[in-house]
Amino acid sequence: MKKIAVVGTGYVGLVTGTCFAETGNNVTCIDIDEKKVERLRNGEVPIYEPNLDVLFERNISAGRLTFTTSLSEGIKDAEIIFLALPTPPGEDGSADLSYILGVADELGKLITDYKVIVDKSTVPVGTAEKVTLAIAKNAKVDFAVVSNPEFLREGFAVSDFLKPDRVVIGTSDDRAKKVMESLYKPFVRQGNPIYFMDEKSAELTKYAANSFLATKITFMNEIANFCELVGADVDKVRIGIGSDSRIGKRFLFPGIGYGGSCFPKDVQALSKSGKENNFNFEILDAVMKVNQSQKTILFPKIKNFFRGDLKGKKIAIWGLAFKPDTDDIREAPALYLIDLLVDAGAEVIAYDPEAMSNVQRLYGSKIQFSSNEYEVLNNVDALVICTEWGIFRNPDFNRMKELMNDTVIFDGRNLFDLEEMTGKGFYYSSIGRTSIENK
Ligand SMILES: NC(=O)c1ccc[n+]([C@@H]2O[C@H](COP(=O)([O-])OP(=O)(O)OC[C@H]3O[C@@H](n4cnc5c(N)ncnc54)[C@H](O)[C@@H]3O)[C@@H](O)[C@H]2O)c1
């Protein structure tokens, strides 16, 4: 049993804290957001993350998981302090380290015995050094700063954390290495590796992983766009290339671009890090440019379909979250498309199983919301699919036809087979495949 503090109780911090409690540790999660801490204390999970609630409740009841707004109280007895703080893009696109360095500054004043301080946030190369300096400025005791980037995916966060493909730990401190090794032991029992390395390599590993994945998606999106031009079917191409083990089957699905709180900011931050070191990540700059236009690639198609005039057209949206199984709408492609539709005079009504309240907070009455995937189709002139939630995959097409004013689907996630859609009575336009015109 170790005593652990987790500073920052968002998507990463809450999952990290809960999963460490689940393996028998005593965890205190700290957050400056008083309302969030209040909800957590009342046993409420403030985010939507599958399978988190069971672990959360179990560990609260067992007294292994507690919450506070006070940094000094939260870290008092902790041997290990995780920083799971935001690193949003600053104005110039580089990672804003003010949250991390602010807390590091405080920690220096508060620690009274040896602590292992672990950076779990995604940060540029050299941050461990900066954190060390910020703590050392005020600290009177020994401490180690470790870089331990997190690879969990929202929607699969609990299983990713409990069964990671690998754990990356960057440290040059032997004592900290031992502490981290024993902490992670329960998570690597199946032989999945813990890679120990220097702090800089660990920091870059996270950016390199996310940038590679963003590049892979973007590459497929460009192939999809080319498919449409030459009459090829991107699904066939995807299957054709994915069985090559050097390429792999995953992350080859084309769509309306990547979003979320990680890929966009991490690709941008790595590119910016490059520039700060007189290095041009040309590939990343291209990825960002292609993804930006991919997010709204459906807009010209929709506009053309309605002969250039969207005024008064009622458009339904299926899916607002940046991907399924999350309520996270940060950089969600759906929002970019909705902005253009509304600006063009369309009336937008949306349904998402989990993300509607987040969008409502942001958009107010700019768009309307509906309570299920059928109701949203009432009298609409078209349906646009933006997020591939499981419940959208197998709809009652006859019911849809009855509800819709015009049977038109723009599918940004290629949910349906072209064969299946042929003869169904819809105009069906997707990504990287020919449109079906048989309305
Ligand atoms: N979300 C993901 O899927 C994911 C995956 C891997 C890595 N990451 C990285 O992990 C980090 C955290 O991401 P997130 O998605 O959990 O962010 P988040 O915005 O969901 O959570 C951050 C939390 O930190 C709190 N906070 C801010 N300042 C604080 C302070 N001074 N003291 C205490 N708490 C404070 C906020 O109130 C918030 O609850 C980022 O660097 C991100 O890039 C995120």
Helix, strand, or coil (residue 433): coil
Cβ atoms of residues 295 and 333 within 8 Å: yes
In the chain, count of helices (H) and strands (E)?
Answer: 17, 14
pLDDT (mean) for 61-88: 97
What is the Å distance from ligand 1's center to 121 Cα? 7
What is the Å distance from ligand 1's center to 31 Cα? 10
What is the Å distance from ligand 1's center to 7 Cα? 9
Task: Report the pLDDT value the prediction gives residue 111, as an integer from 0 to 100.
Answer: 98
Q: Strand pairing partners for 196?
A: 169
Give the residue, out of 100, 148, 150, with the most ligand 1 atoms within 8 A of its beta carbon, to mutate for a pocket test.
Answer: 150
Within 10 Å of residue 156's Cβ, how many Cβ atoms? 15
Give the residue, out of 14, 18, 28, 32, with the most ligand 1 atoms within 8 A of its beta carbon, to mutate for a pocket test.
Answer: 32
Report how far residue 427's alpha carbon sits from residue 305's, in angstroms, rounded to the nearest whole number.
10
pLDDT (mean) for 386-406: 97
Task: Report the pLDDT value the prediction gives residue 18, as an integer from 0 to 100.
Answer: 98
Helix, strand, or coil (residue 29): strand
Q: What are phi and psi of 391, to 5 degrees?
A: -70, -15
Report how far residue 368's alpha carbon sits from residue 379's, in angstroms, rounded to the nearest whole number.
14
**Please, is 277 exposed, middle or buried when counting C-beta atoms within 10 Å of its C-beta (0-12, 13-18, 19+)?**
exposed
Say which amino acid occupies 113: D
Within 10 Å of residue 295's Cβ, how many Cβ atoms? 25
Report how far residue 348's alpha carbon sits from residue 316's, in angstroms, rounded to the nearest whole number.
6
Atom 43 (ligand 1) nearest CA? 122
Residue range 81-95, pLDDT digits in tens: 999 999 999 989 899
pLDDT over 70, % of the chain: 100
Cβ atoms of residues 341 and 380 within 8 Å: no
Q: Is the pLDDT of residue 126 over 70?
A: yes
Helix, strand, or coil (residue 393): coil
Cβ atoms of residues 327 and 47 within 8 Å: yes
Q: Is the pLDDT of residue 414 over 70?
A: yes
**103 half-sphere exposure, CB direction, 13 A CA radius:** 27
**Please, is 57 exposed, middle or buried when counting C-beta atoms within 10 Å of its C-beta (0-12, 13-18, 19+)?**
middle
Residue range 265-318, pLDDT digits in tens: 999 999 999 999 999 999 999 999 999 999 999 999 999 999 999 999 999 999
Atom of ligand 1 minimally distant from the CA of 14: 16
Q: Strand pairing partners for 30?
A: 7, 68
Q: Which tokens in the block code for residue 368? A: 């309307």
pLDDT over 90, % of the chain: 98
What is the Å distance from ligand 1's center to 10 Cα? 5
Our CA angle for 390, 327, 397, nearest 5°, is 30
Report how far residue 6's alpha carbon sits from residue 206's, in angstroms, rounded to the nearest whole number.
20
Report how far residue 316's alpha carbon sits from residue 336's, in angstroms, rounded to the nearest whole number.
15
Q: Which tokens in the block code for residue 315? A: 């458009």
Atom 15 (ligand 1) nearest CA? 11
Give the residue, out of 29, 33, 85, with the most ligand 1 atoms within 8 A of its beta carbon, to mutate for a pocket test.
Answer: 85
Report how far residue 82's alpha carbon sits from residue 74's, in angstroms, rounded to the nearest whole number.
11
What is the Å distance from ligand 1's center to 17 Cα? 12
Atom of ligand 1 minimally distant from the CA of 266: 43
Atom of ligand 1 minimally distant from the CA of 120: 10
Cβ atoms of residues 263 and 207 within 8 Å: no
- Which residue ranges have their beta carbon within 6 Å of ligand 1? 7-13, 30-33, 36, 84-87, 99, 102-103, 121-122, 150, 152, 154, 261-262
Task: Report the pLDDT value the prediction gives residue 438, as an integer from 0 to 100.
Answer: 74
Q: Which of 77, 93, 74 is nearest to 8 (CA)?
A: 74
Task: Report the pLDDT value the prediction gives residue 439, as an integer from 0 to 100.
Answer: 62
Among all residues, which ones are annotated catalytic? Answer: 262
Atom 18 (ligand 1) nearest CA? 10
Residue range 148-159, pLDDT digits in tens: 999 999 999 999
Our CA angle for 243, 392, 314, nearest 5°, is 125
Helix, strand, or coil (residue 111): coil
What is the Å distance from ligand 1's center to 79 Cα? 21
Residue range 184-215, pLDDT digits in tens: 999 999 999 999 999 999 999 999 999 999 99
